[in-house]
Amino acid sequence: MEDFSVIECVHMENATKRRDRHEIIAEILNTAKDAKLKTHIMYKVKLSYAQIYEYLDKLVEDGFLENMAIKRSKQILTMYRTTQKGKEFLNHMESVDKLFE
């Protein structure tokens, strides 16, 4: 009889791994490269409603994201897109990741 407890523990550790702020920011910026709605970013990056507001507001304020209004049907929606400064941040993060490979 095989023992699957080790596999289950490894899976559980990976599933519950906490991300630091830099990882979350990088995920948001990667997702928003092609301009996305807040809800799309929220679900893709797996953040709560309160968390996504905190991150988006700060990233727009600091110039890593830009927001733009678009009209769809009769609604005006806000889209978020990664700025040049945000893309530079992503490039630096990739460089740091390569150092640890």
pLDDT 10s digits, 71-96: 988 899 999 999 999 999 999 998 88
CA distances from 50 to 10, 12, 21, 23, 46 (A): 30, 26, 15, 18, 12
Please tell me the number of Cα atoms within 13 Å of 81 on its side-chain side: 9
Question: pLDDT per residue over 49-64, tens digit each?
Answer: 999 999 999 999 999 9
Q: Whole-prediction pTM value? A: 0.79
For 20-99, which CATH class?
Answer: mainly alpha
Pairing of the two strands 36-37 and 65-72? unpaired
